[in-house]
Amino acid sequence: MIDLQSTNILFFMGYQMTNPEDIAGLTKKLLEEAIRERGQVNVLIAGRTGVGKSTLINEIFQGKLAETGQGRPVTQTTRKITKEGIPLAIWDTRGLEMDAFKQTITELERLVISLSHETDHNQHIHVAWLCIHEDGRRVEDAEIELHKTLSKHMPVIGVITKSRADQGFRAEVQRLLPETRNVVRVRAITETLDEGYILPSMGLIELVELTAEVIPDSFRRAFAAAQKASVQQKKNVARRVVVGAATAAAAAGASPIPFSDAVILAPIQISMFASISATFGLELSTAFLSTLTAAATGATGATFVGRTIVSNIFKFFPGVGTLAGGVISASTAATITTTLGELYIATLVALFANSGGEPPSSEEVVREFKERLSNAMRHTAFSTSNSN
């Protein structure tokens, strides 16, 4: 007979951890890994004075970067804008209306090439937005020259700002800037015309989706975290995290060694929470992640621990018993992991939608997540009792 008490098991999310202190240390390590894997995305935004770059930046990205970010001049016409906690750097380029714009473009290309030689890809510029004012109804020589220069080094997206009436201008921009990946018409904020007619904001989600498509895949998580215009973009990237975690959990659950899956599963699930949090651009801390995972423990531990013990006991018997135990445990591990991940994503989607894309507080996240978990557990218990 197996003495389960002698194994000194602490069940965490239905699985074992040998020491509560291990959880704290593991959480800190996995949080640091999630932040490191997310990286930093860098966006170059170019355009003449008055084209609306600052408004566009503030409406697309978290933190009102153009107002509150730290702007550091790197050349006479370019400054780098960053803000603590946001995995993004904006390279704001000015001076295209100057007579000496060729010198400006040469200087900018020299900077871009220099950054591209950095061994750390977080220092590269990953995409450029070339902003053109729709009211002007023309594309300047400087803008044509700049798009040719930048397209040699990175994807370039044409952004027609302050859009009110196309009248074929977008097609003209595409014709004059053939190296751009696409041209998007945007109106960053709602406008009220003299006649009282209201023009709602437009094109921001399309710009976010197009940018996510053209930047390197390894920086899409950072971009999803930094932008606030599309909660769906955050959700799409976060779901990839859940799929990867569920696949890893199933592989761990299928292990033929009794209780070996527990040691592997806890890091997988904590890492999933950390990566989803990083993808949504939450303010990350070990205390927050520990509280979050503790909430999951309280809600799911009692429900799933019995199934976990049973499936692991099967593994003590060779042959059919081991196979059956592996199959049951693999299925259970993947299901629990997927459920936890999807519930957490649903929590964040709701909170971000209510806050206009800005990150909710840690307290709000934990409170909402615990409530959704409790509801899910009550539904599971109700469904189980009815089936019996």
Q: Is residue 161 part of a domain?
A: yes
pTM of this structure? 0.84
Q: What is the pLDDT of residue 5?
A: 32
Residue 11's pLDDT band, with cuts at 50, 70 and 90, is: very low
92 Cβ contact list (under 8 Å, min separation 6): 45, 53, 57, 71, 78, 79, 80, 81
Task: Answer yes or no: do 238 and 280 share one domain.
Answer: yes
**Of the residues 185, 220, 255, which one is the last residue of a structural domain?**
220
Q: What is the pLDDT of residue 320?
A: 46
DSSP string, 222-277: HHHHHB-S-HHHHHHHHHHHHHHHHHHHHHHHT-SSTTHHHHHHHHHHHHHHHHHH
Contact status, residue 240 vs residue 278, Cβ threshold 8 Å: no
DSSP structural state of residue 187: B
Q: What is the pLDDT of residue 32?
A: 93
Give tens-digit pLDDT for 267-277: 888 899 999 99
pLDDT at 153 over 80: yes
Give tens-digit pLDDT for 157-200: 999 999 999 999 999 999 999 999 999 999 999 988 777 788 99
pLDDT at 384 over 90: no
Q: Is residue 2 part of a domain?
A: no
Integer Cα distance of 172 and 153 in angstroms? 24
Q: Is residue 1 part of a domain?
A: no
Residue 74: domain span = 40-220
Integer Cα distance of 280 and 36 in angstroms? 15
Enumerate the β-bridge partners of residue 92.
45, 79
Q: What is the pLDDT of residue 23?
A: 67
Q: What is the pLDDT of residue 1?
A: 36
Domain count, the chain: 2
Cα separations in angstroms, 241 against 167, 216, 251: 43, 17, 16
Task: Answer yes or no: do 276 and 360 share one domain.
Answer: yes
Q: Across the chain, what does the average pLDDT equal?
A: 82
pLDDT at 313 over 70: no
Task: Answer yes or no: do 243 and 368 share one domain.
Answer: yes
